[in-house]
Amino acid sequence: MKNSLLSGLTLSLFTASLSAQAPAQAPAAARPPQQPAAARIESGLAKEAVDATIAACKAQNLNVSAAVSDAAGLPVYVFVPDGTRAGTGDTAIRKNITMSITGKPASETAALAAADPAIEAKLVANPRIVRFAGGVPLMAGDKIVGFIAASGASAAQDEACAKAGAEKIASRIK
């Protein structure tokens, strides 16, 4: 009895010693599968397109902000010139988010949502979308690599300036 009590006590002390030396490891948290990276326009081209968008509007005495986003709607380049209304940079980004859902120019959002309940549901589910014109997709052949939008003038003027920015870099988009 004395030996079994002693060996049990020794085993308990040995186990406690090991536990104290080895840090407890929490079970690995399950990670969601990683999404493939969205197609992305090069930042140098994004800046050039934004500059051309702003210049096209400035030539008409219009002050706008402009933004280029990747195919998922995440910003690549945003510029808010001095003298431009507050919030216009964010609105340009939001136009790009909207187009990342529809894959079409911002001016087509309302018609697309009215014709397709699935698109309407996606738009309703995202509080960052806007439903007015002002941006266009950036294409590499038939693949969307990003979006460009302007904000600060009328929706139609914003979209015309965004088209000018897209056209400035269209032949060099990869």
Say which CATH number the domain at 122 has.
3.30.450.150
With vertex at residue 165, the alpha carbon angle to CA 93 and CA 108, rounded to the nearest 5 degrees, is: 60
Residue 137: inside a domain: yes
Domain extent, residue 60, equals: 43-172
Number of domains into which the chain is organized = 1
Residue 71: inside a domain: yes
Query: No. of H helices and E strands in the chain?
Result: 6, 4
Q: Give pTM, 2 decimals.
A: 0.78
pLDDT in tens, 8-38: 444 444 444 444 454 455 555 566 565 567 7
pLDDT in tens, 76-119: 999 999 999 999 999 999 999 999 999 999 999 999 999 999 99
Residue 2: inside a domain: no
Q: What are 130's two structure tokens?
A: 């806007």
Residue 50: inside a domain: yes
